A and B are shown apart, each in its own frame.
Chain A
Amino acid sequence: MSILIISRLTIREAQRRRLLLVALIMGILFLTVFGVGFHYIRRDMLLFPPGEQQENFIYGFLLTAGLYATNLLVTIVAVLISVTTLSGEVESHIIDAIVTKPIHRWEVVLGKWLAFALMVLVYLLLLTVGLMLIVYWQSGFRFENIAYGLVMMTLGALLVLSLSIAGGTRLSTLANGVLSFMLFAVAFLGGLVEQIGGFIRNEAAVNIGIVTSLILPADALWKKALSAFQPRSFSSPMMAGPFAATTEPSTLMIVYSVVYLVALVLFAMWSFTRRDL
């Protein structure tokens, strides 16, 4: 009950601060740009039809690029909207009158987490499903295992969200923002190194990637999503680059990510309960 009061409050704040409106407008803009771009590329390509296989390859490539941008965008938005929520209210003392009510501090943390998770989920679905529908309507091309892949992407975004909420229980807003983005960047870089390593068969590079995905499995989850969407063309060398993955993360990585996520949320609840305000 108290959890839901906090969740509602958090969503209402996002609404009052015009976060939802701006996010919606920018999302629509994003989809429009993609849709128009896709339309013209496809029209040019069909002047000299390259054959079905090549066509599908190009559709898959464009859609992957769109999803890649979405993944990045949603991750950044997840950090931006949540990074000040605890530290900011602690610094401004807004939290004082809240946590002295008959409510557990962990309920405050969980309530906020739920609200942000919902917002992140809706935004992610809006953009990804939007991209997929644009491609499908125009060309009839579609990815496989869509639900499974989207779950992987969601998991990655929620991980980063939970990281920024957990950091906010102890760190100042600025330090927390730096921490969350840097960890994400490290995971991203590690993923890139691993990919190149896999390509040139350099074991050390692959291991770096594995270590960074243990630090933050967000990038590994993105690759997992990708390999679900396009299981056959997955390891095609033509697909190399940041949009693709040459090494598919193991299923164990998913288990690890879920455990990681739960641990982050539990840590945030514990940590906030223990701190002095």
Chain B
Amino acid sequence: MSDLLIDAQGLRKEFGPKVAVSDLTLSVQRGEVFGFLGPNGAGKTTSIKMLLSLTAPTAGTAFLLGQPLGHIASRAKVGYLPEHFRFHEWLRADEFLDLHGRLYGMDQRARIEAIARLLKLVGLEERAATKLGAFSKGMLQRIGLAQALLNDPELVFLDEPTSGLDPVGRRLVRDIITELRGRGTAVFLNSHLLSEVEKTCDRVAFIRGGRILQIASLSEFEAEAIQVIVRVDRPTPELLAGLALFGRDVKSGPSDGRILLTMSDPALLPAVARHIIDNGYALYELSPERLSLEDRFLQVVGEVSDE
């Protein structure tokens, strides 16, 4: 079987005149944690819903675990924590997990084992006999997460899994994702919490207005993560060319003699300073800044104007 767990080609969803997702083309490998980032209304949830056949794409094709969308049997190995994690509130937590275990087609022994293990994992083992109607928002999200992991999935969709969680819960979700990756499970993660995405994801996609703007691995981002601002008395083309030896994307800033360059190795900063001074320029500023994912997000998503 192929290691491409998600393989989407040009998925598109229109709601009347509104294009929610215009061209979703991406692939996710086994054991990969894929972050799906974008502002509110960007089309993240709609994308997940198409991949899970909750809504029918207007156009495009996609394969999940090597099977075309809507293939029933392969869903046994797909977990999903919905954005609106509402469940049958008159069920007890353990009954709820048992129901979903049955729907997954697990036999009784597997269910009993998994329910005990997962209740413990999400920190609800003492609330097994509590009705979901008496659960707090964060507890519901935790039990929903347990539900998504019941049948040892190969692929898990988590739509903002930490939106209702306390810091401990967020940490927990991060640890769970890391563990899933270790087991070879692919995770498709929608999130607005970029610091968490930064810690857990292998690759991220930026989406806005239904269009994917960029897909890149986080290590790529890290490699280009230092942006250096250089301010000298008179930036010349020779200086720009000289600085290009130390980094990439050298460009002169908008005003007052600033030069921007992107570097990957902070150890080269003294050499940059020496190069500038040795060539007779007056150096006023040399400030390195690490680009966080949030900076990236604002850069990529913010620079596209709304249409």
* Chain A interface (Cβ < 8 Å from any Cβ of B): 2, 5, 9, 13, 16-17, 92-94, 96-104, 274, 276-277
Q: Contacts of A99 on B, CB cut-off 8 Å?
A: 54
Minimum distance in angstroms from B271 CB to a CB of chain A? 55
Bound-complex Cα distance A245 to B147 (A): 55
Contact present for B55 and A102 (CB under 8 Å): no
Of residues 33 to 60 in B, which have CB atoms within 8 Å of A's CB atoms? Answer: 49, 52-56
Minimum distance in angstroms from A234 CB to a CB of chain B? 46
Bound-complex Cα distance A94 to B54 (A): 12
User: Which residue on chain B has the smallest CB distance to residue A91?
Assistant: B86
Q: Contacts of B86 on A, CB cut-off 8 Å?
A: 92-94
Q: Contacts of B105 on A, CB cut-off 8 Å?
A: 102
* Chain B interface (Cβ < 8 Å from any Cβ of A): 49, 52-56, 72-76, 78, 80, 82, 84-88, 90-91, 99-100, 102-105, 144, 147
Contact present for A96 and B72 (CB under 8 Å): no
Contact present for B82 and A101 (CB under 8 Å): no
Q: Contacts of A92 on B, CB cut-off 8 Å?
A: 84, 86
Contact present for A17 and B104 (CB under 8 Å): no
In the complex, which of the residues A13, A17, A104, A276 has the most CB atoms of chain B within 10 Å of its own CB atom?
A276
Q: Contacts of A277 on B, CB cut-off 8 Å?
A: 49, 54-55
Bound-complex Cα distance A94 to B87 (A): 5
Contact present for B90 and A93 (CB under 8 Å): no
User: Which residue on chain A has the smallest CB distance to residue B92?
Assistant: A16
Q: A13-B90, A102-B103, A103-B103 are in contact. Are A276 and B55 (CB under 8 A)?
A: yes
Q: Which of A13, A16, A101, A276 contacts B100 (CB 8 A)?
A: A101
Bound-complex Cα distance A102 to B79 (A): 11
Q: Which 7 A-B pairs have the closest CB atoms?
A: A101-B103, A93-B84, A276-B55, A16-B90, A102-B75, A96-B82, A102-B76
Minimum distance in angstroms from A83 CB to a CB of chain B? 18
13 of the cross-chain contacts (CB-CB < 8 Å) are A5-B99, A9-B88, A13-B90, A97-B100, A97-B144, A99-B54, A100-B75, A101-B104, A102-B76, A103-B103, A276-B54, A276-B55, A277-B55
Q: In the complex, given contacts A9-B99, A102-B75, what are 8 additional A-B residue pairs having Cβ atoms less than 8 angstroms apart?
A: A5-B99, A92-B86, A96-B84, A97-B80, A97-B82, A97-B87, A100-B78, A102-B104
Bound-complex Cα distance A15 to B55 (A): 32
Bound-complex Cα distance A16 to B102 (A): 20
Contact present for A104 and B56 (CB under 8 Å): no
Minimum distance in angstroms from A134 CB to a CB of chain B? 35
Minimum distance in angstroms from B187 CB to a CB of chain A? 16
Q: Contacts of B82 on A, CB cut-off 8 Å?
A: 93, 96-97
Bound-complex Cα distance A13 to B78 (A): 26
Q: A93-B82, A93-B84, A276-B54 are in contact. Are A98 and B103 (CB under 8 A)?
A: yes
Minimum distance in angstroms from B195 CB to a CB of chain A? 28
Q: A2-B103, A5-B103, A13-B88 are in contact. Are A96 and B75 (CB under 8 A)?
A: no
Bound-complex Cα distance A266 to B267 (A): 70
User: Which residue on chain A has the smallest CB distance to residue B13?
Assistant: A276
Contact present for B99 and A96 (CB under 8 Å): no
Q: Contacts of B76 on A, CB cut-off 8 Å?
A: 101-102
